[in-house]
Amino acid sequence: MATTPTQAHSSENYPFTLSFNANTDFTVLADHCERFADALIESHHSDERRALCYRLADCLNLLSPTLNNPIPPHLIERFTADQLPSKSPIFEPESELLCGYCMTLAQLLSKHTFTADEEKQLTGLLFELVCYFADDLRSPRWIRTTDGVKFIDEVAV
């Protein structure tokens, strides 16, 4: 099942009003990344698309060095569940989309330039990856059991 953008923006400039810095919580950064990717896939203006790419890259650059950091104590409760989640983040684009993404990336890597159609494919891939990445960052890590709190991976079968 492919992820499709669903958010409607009240203003074309909405994603540009999002503020963040090195102190922004990683969950907020993940939300922002998803909003930038959503706006990017909906945008038809090259200057706006370029600006959204820069904003997304800035956000990802802030997230990247923190990915192996422990979850801050004030967020532990948010990432602790009482039962196993019914659904985990999963990256499953439809086979036609996945094939198109792979062909486009292979072509792009071999010639270092791309057409408008290839840009659309790359944008779709970027959207899918960012949404998966954001979902993964926001998913619970621990579960309360009769034996205490455990990592979900230890309990999930």
Q: Is the pTM of this model over 0.85?
A: no
Query: For residues 87-126, b (16+ Cβ closer than 10 Å) or e, as one string?
Result: eeeeeebeeeeeebbeebeeebeeeeeeeeebeebebbbb
Distance CA 131, CA 56 (A): 12
- Look at residue 8 and tell me whether its pLDDT is greater than 50: no
Which pLDDT value is given to residue 131? Answer: 87
Look at 89 and 23; give whichever has higher pLDDT: 23
Per-residue pLDDT tens for 144-157?
999 899 988 888 65
Distance CA 100, CA 84 (A): 34
Which pLDDT value is given to residue 70? Answer: 93
Which pLDDT value is given to residue 9? Answer: 43
Per-residue pLDDT tens for 32-60?
999 999 999 899 898 998 899 999 999 99
Which pLDDT value is given to residue 112? Answer: 65
Per-residue pLDDT tens for 107-129?
776 766 778 888 888 888 888 88
Mean pLDDT of 72-78: 92
Look at 100 and 70; give whichever has higher pLDDT: 70
Nearest to 134 by CA among 12, 35, 16: 35
